[in-house]
Structure 1
Amino acid sequence: MRVRLPRWAGPLAVKAAVFITVMCCALAALLGVLVHVSVTNQTVGKARELALGRLASATTAFETGDTLGAGVRVDPPGLPRSLRELALGGERGTVVADHRGRPTMWAAGPVDRGRVLAVEVDYSQQARTIDGLDRAILWSSALAIGVTVLAGAFAVTRVTRRLHATAGVARRISVGDLDARVGDPRTKDPDRPQDEVAVVAAALDSMASSLQGKLLAEQRFTADVAHELRTPLTGLHAAAELLPPGRPTELVRDRVAALRTLTEDLLEISRLESGRERSELDTESLAALADRVVRGSAGDTEVVVVRDAVVETDRRRLERVLGNLVANAHKHGRGPVVLTVDGRVVTVRDHGEGYPEYLVAHGPQRFRTEGGAKGHGLGLTIALGQAEVLGARLTFTNAEDGGAVARLTLP
């Protein structure tokens, strides 16, 4: 199962948090070891000097026959074995060991007839000091790591939030919302430092503005051309009607009608792309509407009603969508063409070679052809635009056993 991270916790934030934590732990461990070693060496050194000083005084007292002080004995039973062997070898030394349940600093040296003189110094206070220091190092390190991680996570999540916002705007632009902008405050104030995220946001906003300007210019050009063509086409149509009957006249009238249809389609696309089209809702039975579309279309189309549904939609626009899908199936596919109504889902399928790969992947594109194949004209583009006005979802796929499948899902 894929774990879905929250919006602020992308991989960058996770990696940064892990990196900060590891570096903090390593730094805290290094500093803790250095402090522990330094303080322990000082504490042990002072205790060793004290024990050796007392051993020197006790040795002098033993040699002169004076009374030995407290904690000074000859061959004491609790003396560590390693220190006893060192003293028997003629050397003086110290060692820290537990004696009677508490830490003890031992100092020992040789005396006459193979005996050992040892001094016992209580090391409990020094041991408690070192233990307290270790605990303080652990707690302060944990606190420092926690504070550093929180501060680092806060700083990183501010960056990742801005990156997520930039990515969200890019996704909105990719689906057609050309008004979307990041609007990073850093890009609006030239005196503020521009980090990498602000540079990316500024570049994305600039790209969106440029793309929007080019698309608006293209839409205006398309609309202007279509409007300008209307007047001469109207006159050409009237002139064609005055021609004497015959095959040449039929050809002229047919081409004029095709040009008029193309012009009206271009105007319709311009209106759809402007985003000003609004649907006029009414209650319709999908089965009855499908029958009307099929009766008004050219070619033999089978209507299959699995489950009828009454929807609130714009009848004219829905008929336009289904009519274009059926016409495209007859023009670019092969029969039988089947229109299926299953609740709020209407499917149009033919049994031809199917849709091109680019159309399945990216949707219909005006007049596009690929690999020498015949293009799909404007019908599917208009169908997709009208479906968006209706709030419906129109998808294009290819059936496994061959044929193109257009599926319209009404809201």
Structure 2
Amino acid sequence: MRPTLPHWSGTLAAKAAAFITVMCCALAALLGVLVHVQVTNQTVGQARDQALQRLTQATERYEAGDSLKRGAGVDPPGLPRPLRNLAVGGDRGTMVSDFQGRPTMWAAGPADGDRALAVAVDYSQQARTIQGLDRAILWSSGLAIGATLLVGAVAVTRVTRRLHTTARVARRISAGDLDARVNDPRTDPRTKDAARPQDEVAAVAAALDSMASSLQGKLLAEQRFTADVAHELRTPLTGLHAAAELLPPSRPTELVRDRVAALRTLTEDLLEISRLDTGRERLELDTELLGPLAQRVVRGAGRDTEVRVVRDVAVETDRRRLERVLGNLVANAHKHGRGPVVLSVDGPVVTVRDHGDGFPEYLLAHGPQRFRTEGGAKGHGLGLTIALGQAEVLGARLEFGNAPEGGAVAALRLAAE
């Protein structure tokens, strides 16, 4: 089983902090090693020179037959064996080792026979100097890493905060709030500081604001066009309807009246959608029992629809709009599905189900789309679009799905009292 990383580990701030930490640690380690090696070589070199100088003096006294000073002797105790073997072989050398519990720098050279002349120099001070240097390197590296992390965290947090703001605005736009804008101060001409350059985040924010403005303009133009067309069609259709009523009874007259009625219904639907798009709809709230309301909707539809009331509740809603939503769902089930069509009331949830082929994939993924058809199939017109818009006005949630055993299911979730 693969280990699961925490959610925050995937954020930009966490990745930036990890990168800064690794780079600071690597840089501190590199500088620490370089300083340690340089100072150690210098300290050891000075101690070696001092030991060799004393060895030279001790050799002169030994060859002159004088007594050796303290710290010098022939095969003294504590002399490291490798250094003694080197000296017996005729060479001079130095070596650091512990002698009597203290660091000692040894220097040895050949004496007469198979013996070695050696001197011992106390190396404790130099060892303490190197240890103190190592501790200073560790402390300074820790402080430098901490300060760098703090400064980096502040800088990265400012960037990620602006990115989160941009993402939040993008989500609002995708949810339909086209008035949402980032308004980054680096791009706003009213507050833009000429001395502060525009960075990549500001460029993304400016592009998002520009895209939202363009989408809003196109959507408003489309809404105005729809409303204008519907209004322009309304007057001639009214006259056409009056003229059709004056025609003598006949089969052609019935066809004309039917097509005129269809055009009037389409025009009214377009006007209703334009009102929903502009947000001009206002609720007229009242308390209604869902069971009797569902019965009225089915009777008004004039279709063979079964009503099942599992649990009846009272809701505060706009009766006319709720009946419009349920009526459109029932009409859509009969028009695009197959019977039996069942309208169920279970508490504040009203479900309309048919036993046809179900909703198409695009509708389940993106919701109702006006007049869309796919693969030569018959489209869903404006009924579901109006139902979804009126449900949003009611503060309800309209969900579309397909039953496992087949058939389309539309569920309207209302707020119960």
TM-score, L = length of structure 1: 0.97
- In structure 1, what is the equivalent of residue 284 of structure 2? 280
Aligned partner of 2:295 among 291, 296, 299: 291
- In structure 1, what is the equivalent of residue 136 of structure 2? 136
Residues 81-109 of structure 1, C-alpha deviation per residue, up to 9 Å, x if partnerless?
A: 01110110111111000111110111111
- In structure 2, what is the equivalent of residue 302 of structure 1? 306
Q: How far apart in 1 are the matches of 2:118 and 2:402?
A: 97
Aligned-partner residue type, residue 148 of structure 1:
T
Aligned-partner residue type, residue 186 of structure 1:
R
Question: After the TM superposition, which residues 7-156 of structure 1 pair with which residues of structure 2 at under 5 Å, given as runs?
Answer: 10-156=10-156
Q: How far apart in 2 are the matches of 1:357 and 1:317?
A: 27
Aligned-partner residue type, residue 164 of structure 2:
H
Q: How far apart in 1 are the matches of 2:288 and 2:398?
A: 19
Q: How far apart in 2 are the matches of 1:364 and 1:50?
A: 92
Residues 343-379 of structure 1, C-alpha deviation per residue, up to 9 Å, x if partnerless?
A: 1111100001111111111000111111111111110
Structure 1 unaligned regions, length at least 5: none
Q: How far apart in 2 are the matches of 1:239 and 1:278?
A: 35
Aligned partner of 2:262 among 234, 258, 263: 258
Q: How far apart in 1 are the matches of 2:125 and 2:35?
A: 18
CA deviation after TM superposition for structure 1 residue 339, in Å: 0.7
Question: After the TM superposition, which residues 318-329 of structure 1 pair with which residues of structure 2 at under 5 Å, given as runs?
Answer: 318-329=322-333
Residues 25-79 of structure 1, C-alpha deviation per residue, up to 9 Å, x if partnerless?
A: 1111111110000000010011111111111111111111222111112111210
- In structure 1, what is the equivalent of residue 365 of structure 2? 361
Q: How far apart in 1 are the matches of 2:413 and 2:10?
A: 34
CA deviation after TM superposition for structure 1 residue 10, in Å: 4.9
Identity of aligned residues (%): 80
- In structure 2, what is the equivalent of residue 203 of structure 1? 207
CA deviation after TM superposition for structure 1 residue 193, in Å: 1.0
- In structure 2, what is the equivalent of residue 212 of structure 1? 216
Q: How far apart in 1 are the matches of 2:279 and 2:98?
A: 87
CA deviation after TM superposition for structure 1 residue 404, in Å: 0.6
Question: After the TM superposition, which residues 147-166 of structure 1 pair with which residues of structure 2 at under 5 Å, given as runs?
Answer: 147-166=147-166
TM-score, L = length of structure 2: 0.95
Q: How far apart in 1 are the matches of 2:112 and 2:81?
A: 19
SS of equivalent residue, structure 1 residue 280: coil
SS of equivalent residue, structure 2 residue 344: strand
SS of equivalent residue, structure 1 residue 288: helix
Confirm whether residue 316 of structure 1 aligns to residue 320 of structure 2: yes
Aligned-partner residue type, residue 351 of structure 1:
H
Residues 127-151 of structure 1, C-alpha deviation per residue, up to 9 Å, x if partnerless?
A: 0000010011111111111211222
- In structure 2, what is the equivalent of residue 406 of structure 1? 410
Aligned-partner residue type, residue 374 of structure 2:
E
CA deviation after TM superposition for structure 1 residue 190, in Å: 6.7
Residues 307-348 of structure 1, C-alpha deviation per residue, up to 9 Å, x if partnerless?
A: 111111111111110000000001111100001111111110
Confirm whether residue 335 of structure 1 aligns to residue 339 of structure 2: yes
Q: How far apart in 1 are the matches of 2:216 and 2:26?
A: 51
Q: Which moved more, 1:278-287 or 1:40-49?
A: 278-287
Q: Which moved more, 1:155-164 or 1:201-210?
A: 155-164
Q: How far apart in 1 are the matches of 2:251 and 2:6?
A: 68
Alignment root-mean-square deviation, CA: 1.4
Whether contact under 8 Å (1:298, 1:327) holds in the other structure is: no
- In structure 2, what is the equivalent of residue 381 of structure 1? 385
Structure 2 unaligned regions, length at least 5: none
Specify whether residues 4 and 176 from structure 1 end up closer, same or farther in structure 2 by C-alpha distance, changes over 3 A only: farther
Aligned partner of 1:271 among 262, 269, 275: 275
CA deviation after TM superposition for structure 1 residue 4, in Å: 6.3
Aligned-partner residue type, residue 347 of structure 1:
T
